[in-house]
Structure 1
């Protein structure tokens, strides 16, 4: 019996590069055929002869080709990726991980809470939910960014806000003198407290910088969310993607194999998962 090679890469062609913010770009990749993944899963994105790193697709799971991946420039590998041009060869391997349990979300209201580049995997979730929007009670989206120019998917946000069944809330931490903003100012948790939700029939998906996820989770619990209904994407800790490097261990879990999506109640010591 043949076994799947988990390290098998495919070569993709970079069709387009979209500048979302000063530090985040979306790369549109032609996979040469259908590429199947579940929203919330991740792939290893590589440049031949340079290296690779784990990133979550930001496009809908229903869009098989091309796929889109939004990447923040934060280090060596992401700098190299940000410097490529259209037509460049980009490798991907995967997908890996578990993704969001959409079957468990059906019939419920879904609250999506994201900040910074954490909005990218949540964009995939949102677009996937919108595809089957009648299967859900509704979708509430709370996105935050450091400044107005750091808010990604600006044009798409306007379109999502027009969709029946989608309730969109945006905030920025601060508004520099040279930028304009008509929305709310404050950290993303300030968007959560005024919400009126049926907590017995609502699940929350949270993704973003660890400090943002930490306090968003605390706020959700204060509002009455049960731990089992808070879904966290812990992808920031991953590296190899297959559980060999042990870089992503949290308690008894490998984030890359057991996650990256976890419910808050899976952790024995939740205070320790943010470090």
Structure 2
């Protein structure tokens, strides 16, 4: 059973089509400093709602008093969270899961794969890598969305690239949007660079995860070098 602690909604902003950024203040609770590894998740709960799992979208901070989350609309709990007024309280559990093994990636190339709201678990990896960029080899993010308007954190992409993170974006359903970039699934755009020294961190739906695993295996990256946040 989870131990629950009260957190306060301090900000809520649109993040992309169907996605909302939610910021919770956890100051004054035992949760401060418990977020240790990028990719960890917590349970959020509201009265009358089933609890749900949400990745912490902000990087670990020893004394951090705020956690960010990326909410995908269309389900009862996220929809209820999105409607909360500023100052409302949410019940939050301590972080769970191992997160991503950033220490194991030190000295190696790092491939990051995220689709849709899965970028929420990868974003704190990027923030942590940028703090000590020289400790890693090439770092490349493969970021997929259904439509051009569904990429969260678009305003951060240039900063990520300026910080030494190569960003490859691809859209699976461009329709009549006029999208001029890459199309198809993330694993279709691995390129030709050698991957023998690479580790991969992956977050997305099950079909995407299988596709990435198969593509990496074909390129010689063993399953022991591919990691998930659960």
Cα 1:166–1:141 change in 2 (3 A) is same
Structure with the greater relative contact order (CA < 8 A, sep ≥ 6): 1 or 2? 2
Question: How many residues are matched?
Answer: 225
Structure 2 residue runs of 5 or longer lacking an equivalent are none
RMSD: 1.7
Partner SS for 1:120: helix
CA apart distance, 1:180: 4.2
CA apart distance, 1:141: 0.6
**Alignment correspondent of 2:44:** 45
Structure 1 residue runs of 5 or longer lacking an equivalent are 1-5, 234-259, 261-275
Whether the aligned pair in 2 keeps the contact of 1:148 and 1:180 (CA below 8 Å) is no
Partner SS for 1:94: coil
**Alignment correspondent of 2:171:** 172
Partner SS for 1:90: strand
5 Å-filtered alignment, 1:199-210, equals 199=196, 201-210=197-206
CA apart distance, 1:184: 1.1
Answering whether residue 193 of structure 2 is matched by residue 196 of structure 1, we say: yes
CA apart distance, 1:132: 2.0
**Residues 98-141 of structure 1, C-alpha deviations (whole Å, 9 max, x = no match):** 11222211111110011111111011211122122221113111
CA apart distance, 1:195: 4.2
**Alignment correspondent of 2:14:** 19
CA apart distance, 1:49: 4.2
CA apart distance, 1:168: 1.1
CA apart distance, 1:182: 3.5
**Residues 164-202 of structure 1, C-alpha deviations (whole Å, 9 max, x = no match):** x3111111013232x34332122212221x141341x21
Cα distance in 2 for residues equivalent to 1:51 and 1:229: 35
**Alignment correspondent of 1:128:** 128
Cα distance in 2 for residues equivalent to 1:92 and 1:70: 15
